[in-house]
Structure 1
Amino acid sequence: MTVAVTGPFASGKSTFVRMLGELGAETVSADEIVHRLLASDPETIARVAERFGGEVLGERGVDRRRLGERVFGDEGALRELEGILHPLVRREIGRRVSASRAPVFVAEIPLLFEGGDRYDFDCTVAVLTPEERRRGWASERGVGEERFQAIEGRQLSAEEKARLADVVVENDGGPDRLREQARALWERLLAERGSGGS
């Protein structure tokens, strides 16, 4: 059983995925794959440096902060970067799904519905959180209002993500409430897997 978890920025996606992992799912994060590619994959590093210049390189691969400054506010550059990275992420997630022996495989993919690449998952989940709370969490991560708005502008609205997802998780309570929803989803997924349904 394969599951993709998405949602707006700073909505608690990673926490929800981690909770599913604690219940027995194998998990992967698209962002972590991107970080690894930019840090240690020679082909990716070379392609990014060729397109965006040697100044984006750091001591270890691509310096993500410098790269972010280079593409921030430049829609065309951002699309080119995504054109390099997204197919590689999709391929790596596919490889991990094929190799997995876990009963449930969960991938955290922030731009699941926005990207041109179409994934094929048994179930899609949108984690939604009230905007004021998300702004607070973003601020705690050092993300200012301008950057928050730029990230928001690249993504579908929370309502649209909810409409496209199979399951909506409302992260509007505390961690215990989120954990309850993770357990409920886990039990549902195992039941569907056992019955051969989707």
Structure 2
Amino acid sequence: MLVIGLTGDIGAGKSTVSSLLERMGAVVVDADKIVRQIWTRPEIIEAASKRWGKDILDENDRILPHVVASKAFYDETEYKWLCELIHPSVMVEMEKALSGDNGLKVFEIPLLFEVGKPEWVDFVVYVTASKEARSKRNLIRGLDEKAIALRERWLLPAEEKKKMSDWVIENDGDLQSLREKVDALGDLLLKLAYPIMVSVTCGGEEEAVNIARECIEKKLAACANIHPARSIYLWQENVEDEEEWEVSLKTLQCRLYPLRKTILEKHSYDTPVILVHPLKWVNPKALLWLKGVLGI
């Protein structure tokens, strides 16, 4: 599983990017949706109304987001109190979303750097755009420059967040331009999201070495481990007990089919047993190493 933290400037297009990645096959977790759910909890409503009064509630005692914003974004103390009220619960809910199938998971977290990058985020994608482009988009959402300034006053500078990110998407163009950028990045991320280990046993050390070298030289795998193995197996109704050599190859799923073809071409057995082991997680630096070696 590969976990991406998606963040960016207000009006830069984070939600559009996450939607495009979702269409490509990523599982998207939206922190803002979680926040909206948390605001329905009685204990949260009670804490906020005690702090700011009943005018933050509508006639049905539901939170009025724009009134809360007017309370929190004008004062640093109130803003920090709001963050301490909401963010721990958001993190708990997002960590629950980590369970499940392998693959690419994208967590859209507007305040990713401000609240602290979670240790379970492997890479960060930062979406940005010029002030002019963001202003036009935010006006459509009913946010003028004054409102944006209030919301951004407690945030880290954009340039600082860019430096802390692994990929930056500049979204100053049209939707087609953005789609092309996201398609390219999404294709890479989906490849990195499926690391595998491929193993096969051979009749001798020399054969194992030859297969390993061929796969490495063709950049079908990044590393091969070779070690002796004692194999007990059924063959033509007989129980065989043989000394073999096992090759384990570290690679990505996108290289599997040419890798399999190479193993079969180099192998001396009539029926070599090639096993593919999906890997639940590989550390980010190792994934980047795989990317570089395999030419992804």
TM-score, length basis structure 1: 0.91
Contact 2:76 2:154 in 1 (8 A): no
Contact 1:7 1:128 in 2 (8 A): yes
Matched, 1:37 2:38: yes
Matched, 1:128 2:124: no
Contact 1:56 1:67 in 2 (8 A): yes
Whole-angstrom CA distance in 1 between matches of 2:79 and 2:117:
15
The amino acid that maps onto 1:73 is: Y
Whole-angstrom CA distance in 2 between matches of 1:118 and 1:191:
23
User: In the TM superposition, what is the alpha-carbon distance from 1:51 to its structure 2 partner?
Assistant: 2.5
- After superposition, the C-alpha distances for 1:84-115 in whole angstroms (9 at most, x for unaligned) are 101111111111112x3251111111111112
Matched, 1:101 2:101: yes
The corresponding residue for 2:146 is: 146
4+ runs deviating over 6 angstroms? none
Aligned residues: 196
The corresponding residue for 1:113 is: 113
User: In the TM superposition, what is the alpha-carbon distance from 1:185 to its structure 2 partner?
Assistant: 1.7
The corresponding residue for 2:13 is: 12
The corresponding residue for 1:84 is: 85
Give RMSD over aligned pairs: 1.7
Contact 1:56 1:66 in 2 (8 A): yes
Identity of aligned residues (%): 33
User: In the TM superposition, what is the alpha-carbon distance from 1:144 to its structure 2 partner?
Assistant: 1.6
- After superposition, the C-alpha distances for 1:7-30 in whole angstroms (9 at most, x for unaligned) are 111000000001001111111211
Whole-angstrom CA distance in 2 between matches of 1:117 and 1:83:
15
Whole-angstrom CA distance in 2 between matches of 1:130 and 1:65:
25
The corresponding residue for 1:184 is: 184
The amino acid that maps onto 1:9 is: I
SS at match of 2:112: coil
Contact 1:28 1:93 in 2 (8 A): yes
User: In the TM superposition, what is the alpha-carbon distance from 1:57 to its structure 2 partner?
Assistant: 2.0
Gaps of 5+ in 1: none
The corresponding residue for 2:206 is: none
- After superposition, the C-alpha distances for 1:40-79 in whole angstroms (9 at most, x for unaligned) are 2222222222322232222252221221222231110111
Whole-angstrom CA distance in 2 between matches of 1:102 and 1:61:
37
The corresponding residue for 1:74 is: 75
Whole-angstrom CA distance in 1 between matches of 2:118 and 2:101:
23
The structure that has the greater radius of gyration is 2
Higher relative contact order, chain-length normalized (CA < 8 Å, sep 6+): 1
Whole-angstrom CA distance in 1 between matches of 2:129 and 2:8:
9
More strand by share: 2
Gaps of 5+ in 2: 196-251, 253-281, 289-296
